[in-house]
């Protein structure tokens, strides 16, 4: 089965999209694995060799902002409505929006570009999993777009030169618009083409970890710095519309970031004030929210006073405690698989282990 090669944030042609991409490129100039080309920014995992997927941002001929998985399908936003979709050539759907699949079109997998074959079963799942906000009781097209937050230009200017890595990017989907069976279809489609892992404490916060071909065929069993950026997919009970999230590692302390992004532009999530500062950035695209989580420098993090890598940064916690989601295992992707995971967490917290207990609480409340 062909593994996922790229997760691409595609921005519709407009001055606002061009500006957003330019500011993001400037923001990531210190990130050594950020490569640029006209109209495109690509983050290539630095370790292990041959790791996929890459994460990319590009201005494209799309009607609204979307995240594309390879060349197979997209999670899109369109004036407050969104849906997981195939390309029009694949299923005869509109590229983005709330239209139903064309009843006259075939659901068989179309011929794909070489190197981007999509499993027919994944296409079938997505055809059955078409989702829209209309009729959900949370139609974002009827809700005002929040004016809170900071503009991307000012955000990038304040933070310039201080971003050293991209921990993860991701998309949060409003649970009211994603019934469990549809969520399952999306999850299993992603799991069928990537190394995709459960969140160990059971929440619907799932992570694609970059991996090489051998790891994709078996599983990840080596842990070091550089397996990034990962991608997070969240089913969020509190959202009324989709959100893009970007978790960046910085060289700044908590006081630095609090001064740089004071309330209400910046915020400390409950229990996470010693880990990162969350900043809402005004979105150029209707119906889509944008949040940056700015991690403090390692020497200031409560979870790691010495500055050494944690099992969160290497991905080990997700792999060994969460476990891989396999497309054909028929399991519930959010279930905690073993009592050992629960017992390990109870032991760590009871023992007040700084690296494991506090980190587990931090991750539980803040990774999404």
pLDDT tens profile 298-324: 765 444 445 678 899 999 999 999 999
* pLDDT, average across residues 337-345: 42
pLDDT per residue over 152-209, tens digit each? 999 999 999 999 999 999 999 999 988 999 899 999 999 999 999 999 999 999 999 9
pLDDT attached to residue 84: 56
* pLDDT, average across residues 84-112: 30
> Of 56, 139, 126, 40, which Cα lies nearest the Cα of 91?
126
298 CB-side CA count, 13 A: 12
C-alpha pair distances (Å), 118 with each of 72, 83, 278, 364 = 6, 19, 36, 33
pLDDT attached to residue 306: 53
Q: Looking at residue 101, what DSSP letter applies?
A: P
Look at residue 257 and give its three-state secondary structure: helix
pLDDT category at 72 given cuts 50, 70, 90 is: confident
Give all strands of the β-sheet with 289-295 in edge-to-edge order. 196-197, 205-208, 230-236, 163-174, 243-250, 289-295, 276-281, 266-267
More confident residue, 368 or 291: 291
pLDDT per residue over 7-36, tens digit each? 999 999 999 999 999 999 999 999 999 999
Q: How high does pLDDT run on average in the chain?
A: 76
């Amino acid at each position: 089965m062909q593994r996922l090669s790229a997760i691409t944030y595609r921005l519709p042609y407009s001055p606002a999209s061009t500006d957003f991409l330019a500011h993001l490129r400037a923001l990531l100039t210190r990130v050594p694995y950020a490569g640029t080309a006209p109209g495109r920014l690509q983050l290539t995992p630095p370790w292990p060799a041959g790791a996929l997927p890459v994460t990319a941002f590009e201005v494209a001929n799309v009607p609204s902002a979307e995240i594309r998985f390879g060349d197979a399908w997209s999670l899109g936003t369109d004036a407050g409505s969104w849906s997981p979709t195939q390309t029009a050539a694949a299923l005869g759907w509109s590229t983005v929006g709330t239209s139903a699949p064309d009843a006259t079109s075939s659901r068989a997998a179309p011929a794909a570009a070489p190197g981007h074959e999509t499993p027919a079963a994944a296409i079938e799942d997505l055809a059955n999993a078409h989702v829209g906000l209309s009729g959900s009781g949370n139609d974002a097209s009827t809700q005002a777009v929040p004016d809170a937050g900071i503009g991307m230009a000012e955000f990038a200017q304040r933070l310039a030169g201080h971003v050293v890595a991209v921990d993860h990017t991701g998309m949060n989907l409003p649970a009211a618009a994603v019934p469990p069976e549809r969520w399952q279809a999306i999850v299993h489609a992603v799991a069928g083409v990537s190394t995709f892992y459960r969140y160990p404490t059971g929440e619907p916060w799932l992570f694609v970890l970059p991996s090489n071909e051998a790891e994709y065929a078996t599983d990840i069993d080596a842990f070091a710095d550089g397996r990034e950026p990962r991608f997070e997919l969240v089913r969020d009970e509190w959202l009324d519309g989709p959100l893009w999230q970007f978790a960046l590692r910085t060289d700044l302390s908590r006081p630095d970031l609090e001064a740089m992004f004071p309330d209400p532009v910046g915020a400390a999530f409950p229990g996470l004030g010693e880990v990162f500062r969350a900043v809402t950035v005004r979105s150029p695209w209707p119906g889509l929210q944008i949040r940056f989580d700015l991690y403090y420098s390692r020497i200031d993090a409560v979870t790691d006073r010495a500055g050494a890598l944690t099992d969160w940064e290497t991905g080990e916690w997700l792999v060994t405690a969460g476990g891989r989601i396999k497309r054909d295992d028929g399991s519930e992707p959010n279930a905690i698989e073993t009592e050992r995971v629960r017992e390990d967490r109870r032991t760590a917290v009871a023992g007040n282990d700084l690296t494991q207990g506090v980190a587990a609480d931090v991750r539980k409340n803040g990774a999404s």
